[in-house]
Structure 1
Amino acid sequence: MWSPSLEGRSPVRYLAIVEAIADAIAAGSLRPGERLPTHRDLAWHLKLNVSTVTQAYREAARRHLVSGEVGRGTYVLAASREAALFGLKAGAGGRPDVIDLSTNVPAIDPDATDLAAALAAIAAEGRIDAALAYHPPALLQRARVAGATWLAARGLHLRPADVVPCAGAQAALAAALLQLCPPGAPVLVEDLAFPGLKAAARWLRLPLHGVAMDGEGMLPDALDRAVRATGATVAVLVPNLQNPTGTVMGPARQAEIAAVADRHGLWLVEDDVYGALTDRPPLVALLPERGVLVTSLSKSVAAGLRFGLIAGASEPVYALADQIHATSWPLAPLMGEVACRWIEDGTAARRLAWQRAEIAARHAQARRALPGFVAPDGPPSPHLWLPLADGAGAAASCLAAGVEVVASDLFAVTREAPQGLRISLAAAAGRAELAEALTRLQGVVGVGL
């Protein structure tokens, strides 16, 4: 068990513990993902009050050194384990031979020239300077119209007034939670939740409570029990291509989840960033007055186009629309201009079609390379979930084989959460690189040997 020496440190004991944690992380004796001793155990070893250790862990979490999660304990974050997925990498540990399949990003079309064409058109129209100025009111209204148009293709027919543009889905999710949840309020999520949600909840000091899942996502009976046990009034779900498992809710399951939410007066926040990659409608369409949809173009059109949306014909959305400086204002005018143009002229739809075709091809590659791990039916997913008994150990074995993936502990909300690996198929530079990565993974999971 890790037990630091507090000699020569701050005379304030809880700060001395925080200093020791920071030094141990810097020295490598505490590594990202490592579990710290319980409050009681560390207090016993240091001969301190439990409240002192609790205060130290709380301060360490505020400094983004550790993460304390309900039912799981306290884990080392280094800077931020979730943010590390998006960090600059030159191969894991400086190894250029490592194929990075750890981050969920859309596949890149090497022949696309859409951004260059859009910027040239903006320049030709003499609008470059305007794109670098503050938002004109016309652009924000145009963004609402474009957002409503984009959502109509998902089968969600809303007015522009029902749509709030944001600087990406992460900002939209944080705004929705801030609007719906008082500090400390419990939030129900899938047993395996995407890192952005865990990061937002930590930032907003909202405890997450995991709800059991199966092959179609969150279980209605488990959701019903969780509402009764926690008194939660908000749940966050990813019904379409859930991250990390790739599960998709069928119509019957969606209706059951909606019925539970309606019975308990539960607000549903739906993250639909992957929804456009399927033909399945959003779940919130079944709860028009109690649903809030969050989405963006980042997983379907372009990762760096920070154009997100909060949508729904509900009071929280209208309240957020009034908070323009906290929602729409951070959206860069240039990004808003490009996003609107692409939705209006069909570029976004064309890029989405290319993305769907590319993901289908890569999903088929994975199905051939890893039979038994990839369902033969269902919509192709940009990420693949491999249920394995020891997720962290399997991830280390994958890295040793030259493929970087993500273990289940990054997503787990409860101790009972399933173990496994997430493999981001779309992260490979191309199908040839993906084929090589899948061949290496075969040796780790025992396929084809």
Structure 2
Amino acid sequence: MGSNFVWTPELIDDAQPRYLALVDAIAAAIERGELKVGERLPPQRRLAWKLGLNPSTTQQAYREAAARHLVAGEVGRGTYVLAGSKEATLFRLKQHDRHSSLIDLSTNVPVADPHPHDLQHSLQALLQADDLNLLDHYLDHDQLLLARLHGARWLAQRGLTLGADDLLLCGGAQQGLACVLQSLCQPGEAVMVEALTAPGIKAACRQLRLPVHGVALDHQGLRPDELDRVARASGARVLVTTPTLHNPTGACMGDSRRQAIAEVVKRHGLRVIEDDVYGALSERAPLYPLLDGQGILVSSLSKTVAAGLRLGWIAAPASVLEHIDPHARATHWPVSPLNLRIACQWIANGTAARRLAWQREEIGERWRLARRVFGEAMRAQDEPSPHVWVNTPGPAEALVGACRARGVEMVPASVFAVGGDEVRAVRISLSAATSRAQLKQGLDVVRAVLGELAGK
């Protein structure tokens, strides 16, 4: 809209007062984008003249619009559309939907549902069972027990032999991680994490006021010598780690590395919180069995089966779980009865296993595609991962910004880094792209920009 634009509404001829009709017209125009955030409304007297209204009517309408936080007026400057209104927010969301051509290489989610009818079939089965009161009550003892049994069955594929008493339910791994940290640590207590760690882990520690100490990594993840050094230097007794398909680097610990880490853990008497949300995508066993009761494993279905299926498990010896949640209530409060029922159904009838197998196959193809595109620029990984770590010739933010300008989103190393050292790399997620063709298009953009930056 040019500088000569003068907005003139059409007022609906209804029974309400004219000033309210004008307020409704302002709200509708903001929602449609006809009036944009920061745009100036016509002067009250001019608008009154155009609409055939008394100036006092437009004055009353502008006052009501300001009271609803649609606009704000400044003496000598006029009346302007505010950014924080519901209407402006709705317009922004609509605009975002229109720009769906953006290629997302930034979000770690499972590849888009290859079997779009799974949820439909599950909901139909619930309706046919006449089980329509799922949301009328809290989860009862039998439902919680059944979900723990199904969790033990699901985690058995990770080589874990668990009983119902070895598990607590949680509303996804992030909530489970926060609950465990809160139970183990007092505010101000040091916690060790990988020197590059998931934003969710950093956020949980920050919210709980737990200072973090980064432990250096190599191509297999945590280095045992560095874990030993940081444990002695910091006095920390809790370690949060992702040994399998580490986020962000995709590293996997080999058998000898896991054994070496376990020895350091035992020597210092550390408590280890193992983030295993990606573990089912790999053949590698968890660290948990090697820790002789000093480990706590947190897992969920969100990264491997369905992002919105917010159900997870905290696995540990019963004595440890009693300390985390003495009454076995706090961790499962966020769990939806509907989500729980669908998750248990999918584990029982094989749907979850089928979806996981498809994810592993598809991620493998996408990972091999990334290796062909990036070659040596991509950090060496032994196993297919839903995300890859790519080195940059200069500051990572320069690559991210240049790629964003060409319609591709990714995440710079600074989002994951613990400490102030600059890391010149980006994490590229392979699973959010809608297809392999779209992924290839995005990866080619990144490669081209890498080449341009390297030539400068």
- TM-score class, shorter: 0.7 to 0.9
Q: Distance in 2 between matches of 1:395 and 1:108?
A: 24
Number of the residue aligned with 1:390: 395
Within the alignment, does 1:332 sit opposite 2:336 as a pair?
Answer: yes
Contact 2:249–2:379 (CA under 8 A) maintained in structure 1: no
Q: Distance in 1 between matches of 2:282 and 2:276?
A: 10
Q: Secondary structure at the match of 2:175?
A: helix
Deviations 1:68-90 (A, max 9, x none): xxxxxxxxxxxxxxxxxxx9796
Aligned AA (2:184): L
| Distance 1:132-1:420 versus aligned 2 partners, 3 A rule | farther
Number of the residue aligned with 1:190: 194
Residue 442 (structure 1) shift = 1.4
Contact 2:322–2:328 (CA under 8 A) maintained in structure 1: no
Deviations 1:126-170 (A, max 9, x none): 112135421121110001101111111100111110000111111
Number of the residue aligned with 2:233: 229
Contact 2:379–2:388 (CA under 8 A) maintained in structure 1: no
Residue 284 (structure 1) shift = 1.1
Contact 2:192–2:212 (CA under 8 A) maintained in structure 1: yes
Q: Secondary structure at the match of 1:295?
A: strand
Q: Which one is further off, 319-328 or 406-415?
A: 319-328
Q: Distance in 2 between matches of 1:213 and 1:125?
A: 51
Number of the residue aligned with 1:246: 250
Number of the residue aligned with 2:443: 438
Q: Distance in 2 between matches of 1:89 and 1:364?
A: 35
Contact 2:250–2:381 (CA under 8 A) maintained in structure 1: no
Q: Distance in 2 between matches of 1:353 and 1:255?
A: 28
Aligned AA (2:345): R
Task: Select the residue among 282, 288, 296 that pairs with 2:286.
Answer: 282
Within the alignment, does 1:403 sit opposite 2:408 as a pair?
Answer: yes
Number of the residue aligned with 1:150: 154
Number of the residue aligned with 2:56: none
Q: Which one is further off, 319-328 or 272-281?
A: 319-328
Q: Distance in 2 between matches of 1:375 and 1:420?
A: 9
Q: Distance in 2 between matches of 1:270 and 1:297?
A: 15
Contact 1:158–1:313 (CA under 8 A) maintained in structure 2: no
Deviations 1:352-375 (A, max 9, x none): 000001101111111111111346
Number of the residue aligned with 2:433: 428
| Distance 1:95-1:118 versus aligned 2 partners, 3 A rule | closer
Contact 1:246–1:381 (CA under 8 A) maintained in structure 2: yes
* 1:294-443 correspondence to structure 2 within 5 Å: 294-313=298-317, 315-374=319-378, 378-388=382-392, 389-416=394-421, 418-443=423-448
Aligned AA (1:442): R
Q: Secondary structure at the match of 2:121?
A: helix
Q: Distance in 1 between matches of 2:179 and 2:196?
A: 22
Residue 125 (structure 1) shift = 0.8
Number of the residue aligned with 1:262: 266
Q: Distance in 2 between matches of 1:280 and 1:295?
A: 15
Contact 1:163–1:311 (CA under 8 A) maintained in structure 2: yes
Q: Distance in 2 between matches of 1:107 and 1:147?
A: 22
Q: How many residue pairs get matched?
A: 364
Q: Distance in 2 between matches of 1:130 and 1:95?
A: 37
Q: Distance in 2 between matches of 1:365 and 1:177?
A: 38
Q: Distance in 2 between matches of 1:408 and 1:116?
A: 39
Q: Distance in 2 between matches of 1:383 and 1:89?
A: 29
Q: Secondary structure at the match of 2:352?
A: helix
Q: Distance in 2 between matches of 1:438 and 1:187?
A: 36
| Distance 1:321-1:162 versus aligned 2 partners, 3 A rule | farther
Q: Which runs of 5+ in 2 are unaligned?
A: 1-37, 39-91
Aligned AA (1:138): D
Number of the residue aligned with 1:99: 103
Contact 1:288–1:313 (CA under 8 A) maintained in structure 2: no
Within the alignment, does 1:291 sit opposite 2:304 as a pair?
Answer: no
| Distance 1:300-1:89 versus aligned 2 partners, 3 A rule | farther
Number of the residue aligned with 1:216: 220
| Distance 1:90-1:232 versus aligned 2 partners, 3 A rule | farther
Q: Secondary structure at the match of 2:346?
A: helix
Q: Distance in 2 between matches of 1:284 and 1:341?
A: 27
Residue 438 (structure 1) shift = 1.1
Could you tell me the TM-score, scaled by structure 2's length?
A: 0.76
Q: Distance in 1 between matches of 2:121 and 2:407?
A: 37
Identity of aligned residues (%): 47
Contact 1:234–1:269 (CA under 8 A) maintained in structure 2: yes
Q: Secondary structure at the match of 1:418?
A: coil
Q: Which runs of 5+ in 1 are unaligned?
A: 1-26, 28-86
Contact 1:91–1:98 (CA under 8 A) maintained in structure 2: no
Contact 2:170–2:312 (CA under 8 A) maintained in structure 1: yes
Could you tell me the TM-score, scaled by structure 1's length?
A: 0.77
Number of the residue aligned with 1:161: 165
Contact 2:379–2:391 (CA under 8 A) maintained in structure 1: no
* 1:9-28 correspondence to structure 2 within 5 Å: none
Contact 1:289–1:314 (CA under 8 A) maintained in structure 2: no
Aligned AA (1:101): L
| Distance 1:88-1:310 versus aligned 2 partners, 3 A rule | farther
Q: Distance in 1 between matches of 2:253 and 2:109?
A: 22
Within the alignment, does 1:115 sit opposite 2:119 as a pair?
Answer: yes
Deviations 1:24-56 (A, max 9, x none): xxx9xxxxxxxxxxxxxxxxxxxxxxxxxxxxx
Q: Which one is further off, 304-313 or 96-105?
A: 96-105
Q: Secondary structure at the match of 1:305?
A: coil
Whose Rg is larger? Answer: 2
Q: Secondary structure at the match of 1:319?
A: helix
Residue 91 (structure 1) shift = 5.8
Q: Secondary structure at the match of 1:221?
A: helix
Deviations 1:294-314 (A, max 9, x none): 110000000000001100225
| Distance 1:295-1:439 versus aligned 2 partners, 3 A rule | same
Number of the residue aligned with 1:181: 185
Contact 2:251–2:381 (CA under 8 A) maintained in structure 1: no
Q: Which one is further off, 316-325 or 174-183?
A: 316-325
Q: Distance in 1 between matches of 2:117 and 2:326?
A: 37
Deviations 1:88-145 (A, max 9, x none): 79669x8544211111111013443111111111111111213542112111000110
Q: Secondary structure at the match of 2:376?
A: coil
